[in-house]
Each structure stands twice: as C-alpha cells, then as structure tokens.
Structure 1
C-alpha cells in the first residue's frame, strides 16, 4: 500500500509541475500585461490542483470559518505548497508577501508581479520590512487580501518556530483587521519528500484581530490563535507529535 501511494504521489507531483508549466505558458501573453489574466490563470491552477490531489492521492481539502472578502491582512500558518493553493482559491483577491528572488524567476515572477505580490529580501531584515511597507502602500489602490506567513517559512506540524515581528509592523502600518489562519496540511503533505498521504486537510479562517493592539499583545494573540487552532486540527487528523513518538 505504501509503495502504491508513493507511486501515486510521484505521479501527482510530476503532473502538478507539468500542468503549472503548460498553463503558465498558455496564459502568459495575457498575464504579462494584465492582472486579470494572471489572476485567472492562478485561480484555475489552484482549484485544479486541489481537485487533483483528491483524485490522484486521496487528499481532500476543506475550508472552515468565514472567508474574508474585504481589504484585510491574512496571517497564515504555512506547512506546505498545498496550503498556499487552498488559501489562494478561497480568497477573492489574494496577494502574498514572498521571497524577493522569486520575482526574478521566469514566468513565475511575472505572474507574481501582476498579482500585486510584495517581494521581501529576508536576508536584510530591517530593509526588508521598510521595503515591504513601501510596496504595500503603493499597492493599496487595488483592494484585496494581503497574505503573510508570520513564521517566515514552512514549518512542519509539531515543530516550534518563532513568530517574526515584521507581522506586527505590517499590521500597525495597514490599520486593518488581521485574520489568522490555521492548518493541518503538513500532516498529509510534508515540508520535504514525495509522499502525499490520503485524508482531509483543513484550512481554517479564525476570528479577526482588530487593529490598534500593541506589539506584545498582538503577537501573543496571533500566535495563540494560530497555534491553538492548528494543534486542534493536527489532533483531528491523528497527528502524533515527535516527542510522543520518541517516548513510545
């Protein structure tokens, strides 16, 4: 069974990138000059891959909680590529804080630019935050949901990682509601490796945090909300923390 699931996972991974390349090339003439073209292509891709994950590897997806519709900041738990796709498919006009070097990638960078994604150089923290705020301010003429990963990278379930202060800087500057997002996607789709486990992964939009909180209060509320809900979803998926496995 594991060998069969591995082969199905391998086929799915290959399909996912081949489809990405094909769709990206087909839509590129439109997407290169139009944010609508880029968004249409990315929406088709996200919805299609989410559906194919269920068909090819038995990995279904579920979105819980009220999906924000207006101009808000979305602070999400990030465990794998799939949670990006589920969030993108769920939100009406998402744009992401992303690594600056990705903006120079062929085709991908052009799509990200047209979507209004904000590049951040994580190697230069102070300058990165200042540049991030500058780019966000320029992009606010087009309403949408600005998505950020407070831990700055993918983090496997059960692995602790700090929440970065840049999230509060952005929250303070925008003066918008911040919607935390929890997930258990990493239980089924690990940070590294080919295997994709069957099951139901969940992305849950949580209670918004109102603007105006101080740094310490905001960061604690954000982390408690995301980590508490993500741990609940992990338990629901039957996840056993690494420490518990070692003890057994």
Structure 2
C-alpha cells in the first residue's frame, strides 16, 4: 500500500503543480501582488494531499516561541522536499532562501520570485553572499520571516553535515534572531525515491540564538542546539 499511495500522491502533486503553474500566468500578468497567497494555496493543497493520500500527519511544536510582531530567521534541518513546503502555511510572510537554479524551472520559477523567495547562486562566492544579505535585509524590512537550511543540502534523518558559514553572515547583517528547528521529515518523505511512509512528521522550534554571536560560536551553538533538541522525545 505504501508504494501505491506514494504513486498516487506523486501523480496528484504533478497534476496540481502543472495546473496551478499554468493558472499562475494570470497572477503574474494581472495581479502579481497575490503571488504569495497563490503559493500558499499550492503548498496547502500539496500538504493536504500528503495527509489524505499518504496518511502523514504534521505536529509542529514551539510556535509560541516565534515573535508575532517582527521578522526573524528560521535555521532548519533539511531532510526532505517537505521542508520547502511546510513553512509557507505556518508563517504569515515566509521567504525561503533557495538555490538559484529553481528560478529557471518553467512555470514555477517566476512565481517563486514574485512570492518573495530569495535565490542564491551557490557558485557565486562572496558576491553572491553580499547579494543574498542585501536581499534578506530588504525582505526583513518588508516584514518577511526568512527560512534558511544552514547545511546547504538535504540530509538523511540523523545525519549531520557541517553548517555553512552563510547563516552567520546573514544573522550578522540582518540582526535577526535565529530560531533553530529540527524535524524528522526524512523518515516519512525521504530525500531519495518516491516512497512516502505513513506516520507523523514532527517539527520543533527551539529558543532563539543571538545574531551577535561570533561566527564560529554561532555555528557551533546551532549544531549543539540541534543535537540537544534531538535528544528530547517528540
């Protein structure tokens, strides 16, 4: 049943994305200020399909820690494509930091930019980081909450890769508090293959870290915080 449900969800997800991608031309041409709301609709329907077809539930813990009146940084583990969807409907004005290649995807790419996502050229070196921080400062001033995956790529559940230093520069320049986030999404939506395993995806928000921490200390503290949070049962 797992394989059958996974295939049905894949077909649902592809058809939903194609249909909404075509309809997105209306948003882009006539009402671009609705791009974020449209993106939220797509992610909400995607997650609805995940719950209904694959019997995967979502439990988000610690949302009360997030400020309601100012922007902030979410520093999340990244185990699954699910992580790139879920914050769209948790936060009021989410802005994911994403790889620049995604902006080239037909139909989807232009909408990502209109919705407020922040692309980064991972091969662009220091110039790309400067552009990233400038855009992030602008988004924060507009009230966006910024989501970054500091390890830079998807990992398997329980796997730890080095945290990239970009998160420290971003925190320093934006002066936003950093909220560490852990998840077990890789157990139910693995980074490879099409299988989706029934159960509950947990997301846990930790206490904020100060953006004034020195770079090395911030990276170490974030990693240690993730590890401490992982030891606590969901």
The normalised TM-score by structure 2 is 0.91
Q: 2:21 maps to what in 1?
A: 24
State how far apart, in whole Å, the 1-side matches of 2:11 and 2:35 are.
23
Q: 2:166 maps to what in 1?
A: 166
Which ranges in structure 2 are unaligned for 5 or more consecutive residues?
A: none
Q: 2:52 aligns with which of 47, 51, 55?
A: 55
| Pairing 1:113–2:142 present | no
State how far apart, in whole Å, the 2-side matches of 1:139 and 1:147 are.
12
SS at match of 2:59: strand
Q: How does 1:58-207 map to 2 (within 5 A)?
A: 58-66=55-63, 68=66, 69=68, 70-207=70-207
Superposed displacement of residue 159, structure 1: 2.0
- 1:158-180 deviation per Cα after TM superposition (whole angstroms, max 9, x unaligned): 22211000110000001111111
User: Once superposed, what is the RMSD of the aligned Cα atoms?
Assistant: 1.8
More displaced 10-residue stretch of structure 1: 107-116 or 9-18: 107-116
State how far apart, in whole Å, the 1-side matches of 2:29 and 2:57 are.
32
Superposed displacement of residue 97, structure 1: 1.0
Q: How does 1:198-217 map to 2 (within 5 A)?
A: 198-217=198-217
State how far apart, in whole Å, the 2-side matches of 1:231 and 1:83 are.
20
Superposed displacement of residue 231, structure 1: 5.5
Superposed displacement of residue 137, structure 1: 3.0
| Pairing 1:39–2:36 present | yes
Q: 1:13 aligns with which of 10, 14, 18?
A: 10
> Is the contact made by 1:189 and 1:197 (CA closer than 8 Å) also made in structure 2?
yes
Superposed displacement of residue 198, structure 1: 0.5
Superposed displacement of residue 34, structure 1: 4.4
Superposed displacement of residue 56, structure 1: 0.6
**Would the alpha carbon gap of residues 27 and 188 (structure 1) be closer, same or farther in structure 2, given more than 3 Å must change?**
same
> Is the contact made by 2:24 and 2:107 (CA closer than 8 Å) also made in structure 1?
no
- 1:50-102 deviation per Cα after TM superposition (whole angstroms, max 9, x unaligned): 22212111111111112533311111111111122112211110011111121
**Would the alpha carbon gap of residues 91 and 230 (structure 1) be closer, same or farther in structure 2, given more than 3 Å must change?**
farther
Which ranges in structure 1 are unaligned for 5 or more consecutive residues?
A: 237-248
